[in-house]
Amino acid sequence: MTCSFQAEDVVVLHMLREIKPDIAVLFLDTVHHFSQTYAYRDELANLWKLNLINLRAAEPSPGLWQTSTDACCARHKVEPLFSALEAYDVWFTGLRRQQSPSRANLSEVEPFRLPSGKSITKVSALAAWTNRDVWMYAKAHDIPLLPLYELGYTSIGCEPCTSLPLDPSDPRSGRWQGQKLECGIHIQPVISRQSTVISRQSTVISRQSSVDSHQSTVDSHQSTVISRQSTVISRQSSVVGPSAVGTGSATGD
């Protein structure tokens, strides 16, 4: 499973350890995390004897976020994680629908295609959980949580791109100065989804055009048949006409 050591991830990890104590725990070391996050990771890894796997970019670029947060996320998060996931068939996450509008339609279990084309199963067991559910579970099981929550943080990522929530009703509003909601790992960019919708609409229009074209062909065929029938009737009338006239004259006599 991937674990940022936020509350949701730790709750899922607590559950999974009951089933598979040595489950691989993938942590994305972006070289930009809070010092408290690194300390908490090490503390919990030692306390729970975790099979912790720290992932780093092949060539880390400290400060890249100042130039482009998208490029920074791609290098330090997306690329190393997708590369590591090639070795697995199932991917557990701590994602929840309530976390963000961008996650409102999250499924508990869904296929996920990696850039290589490999398809794995993505499991978000807490998809339907509320904030209260998470905190109640942590309290009930005496799970220590990241100290940054006590300072008012509601969603915790890299230090340069994490602030206290700008909108109290949106837990992720403190990420990336409110400029975006996702780093690119879990949810595809909105423009990509719009392109998909446009592509589907184009397919529908294309299919409708094919239907219309087929209908035109049918109509044309029917017109040809009617035209031929008219020609036949006309020819029959030409043949029947003189005989009918002759018979009439005889009767008239």
Q: Which residues are catalytic?
A: 183
Show the tokens assigned to 223.
């017109």
Other beta carbons less than 10 A from residue 171's beta carbon: 17
Show the tokens assigned to 55.
């992932």
Report the relative pairing of strands 90-92 and 51-55 from DSSP bridges: unpaired
Separation in Å, CA 152 to CA 82, 143, 163, 168? 31, 19, 9, 10
b/e burial code for range 23-61 (CB count within 10 A of at least 16 → b): ebbbbbbbebbbebbeebbeebbeebebebeebebeeee
In angstroms and rounded to an integer, the radius of gyration of the C-alpha atoms of the chain is 33
Show the tokens assigned to 23.
């489950």
Backbone angles phi, psi at 4, to 5 degrees: -95, -5
Separation in Å, CA 98 to CA 1, 2, 10, 128, 170? 20, 19, 17, 8, 9
- Who contacts 145 (Cβ-Cβ below 8 Å, separation ≥6)? 7, 10, 138
